[in-house]
Amino acid sequence: MGRVRGKRQVVSVFGVLWRAAVLYLVVATAIPTSVGSLGPHSKPARDYDAAMRLAQAFKRADSSAVNGGQSIILVHAHRTPRAFVLFHGLTNSPRQFRKLADTLYAGGDNVFAPRLPDHGLRGATADDLGNLTAESLRDVADAAIDLASGLGDTIVVLGVSLGGNMASWAAQFRPEVYRAVIVSPALGVSHVSTSAETPMMNLALRMPNYSRNDSPDTLRPDRTKGWSTRGAGQMLRLGAAVRRAADKHAPAARDIRVVVNAKDATVNRDAIDELAADWSALGGHVSMYEFADSLRLPHDIVDPDEATGNTSVTYPVFLSLLYGSTPAAGLGVRAISPKQLH
């Protein structure tokens, strides 16, 4: 009799734990995540010398970075007509932009590609990405625009994936940015409806971090192989801050160019379309371009080392957009009107 009662008690305890776990998951997904702390804290550099003092802070932060993973700063020892700011993607490093940065610098302008927090570190694994916060990403975006304010008369920003979220943030919040080229921003996850993105983000932020570490890339030790649920959640949170602000306020940047890839199976296209449409509806000057599915490009269409990438196709488009031109016919992209996305 006592044995039966003991089994019933065990079953009862498991039942309570199961119901508690389900309740926790419901609450974790339902309670809104705050993004109120993710506004700008701008302190733009007044001149070139002030910008170089800010650059020293980035160099000090790079002391733990692997060789090749440090921030890139290419300057002509004076203020130039344009200052380009390049934000790299999740798990990558500024080395992703080395080829593009060299091209922009050779054109006579100053270029800055900051290393993002918890990226490109010596001995790092995907577990380290669990330390990432949307606030730290905002701080780097803020500081990069502050620095660029002293490097050039016109600030032009480009970001890809996570960096695309940061470029979107800069376009929404920093009026110092004249042009933003936003490439495949990670505002949501592919194959997940936009209505489910917020609950998924809430869960990723409130559950314990889970990471998967892949084998290191010996040729690119600056790249962190694998992924982290908490890091991805913080990436989405920064994107949520932009999307919520864009619901009510026009973007600060005067020229926004959004680039998507029809073959991209990583990011949520609907979320990107909605942001572009919201910006356009509130008076933002937004243009949108799509690389054709037939090009079979990967999610990362920037990094020259991407195995299935083709920068001979993508870079002419990026350069055209960065300099304010319309990509020529035959470059593999088509224009999309954001007003048609409503």
Confidence band (pLDDT; 50, 70, 90) for 215?
confident
Q: Is residue 41 classed as helix, strand or coil in its secondary structure?
A: coil
Strands 286-291 and 177-183: unpaired
Q: Which amino acid is at 191?
A: H
Tell how far CA 290 is from the center of its chain.
18
Provide the pLDDT for residue 198.
Answer: 84
pLDDT per position as a tens digit, 262-280: 999 999 999 999 999 999 9
CB 327 within 8 A of CB 317: yes
Q: Decide: residue 55, CB within 10 A, 0-12 exposed, 13-18 middle, 19+ buried.
A: buried
Tokens of 44: 């733009």
Q: Does the pLDDT of residue 62 top 70, yes or no?
A: yes
Quote the CA–CA distance of 101 and 8 in Å, as a whole number. 67
Query: In terms of residues, how long is the chain?
Result: 342
pTM of the full predicted structure?
Answer: 0.90
E strand or H helix at 111, and its extent? strand 110-113
Give the residue-averaged pLDDT of 127-143.
96
**Around Cβ 34, how many Cβ atoms within 10 Å?**
11
Burial of 147 per CB tally in 10 Å (0-12, 13-18, 19+): buried
CA distance 310 to 307: 9
**Cα–Cα distance for residue pair 167/242, rounded to 1 Å:** 10
Average pLDDT over the chain, rounded to an integer: 90
Q: What was the pLDDT predicted at 21?
A: 41
Average pLDDT over residues 23-41: 69
* Residue 22 scores a pLDDT above 60: no
Helices 162-173, 229-246: crossing angle, 10 deg rounding:
30
pLDDT confidence of residue 14: 46
Distance of alpha carbon 69 from alpha carbon 266, whole angstroms: 24
Helix/strand/coil for 237? helix
Residue with tokens 């892949």, as numbered in its chain = 214
Report the range of poorest mean pLDDT among 65-69, 195-199, 243-247. Answer: 195-199
- Dihedrals φ, ψ of 260, to 5°? -125, 165
Which of 19-33, 71-85, 118-132 shows the lowest mean pLDDT across its residues? Answer: 19-33
**Which pLDDT value is given to residue 16?**
47
Place of tokens 């700063």: 73
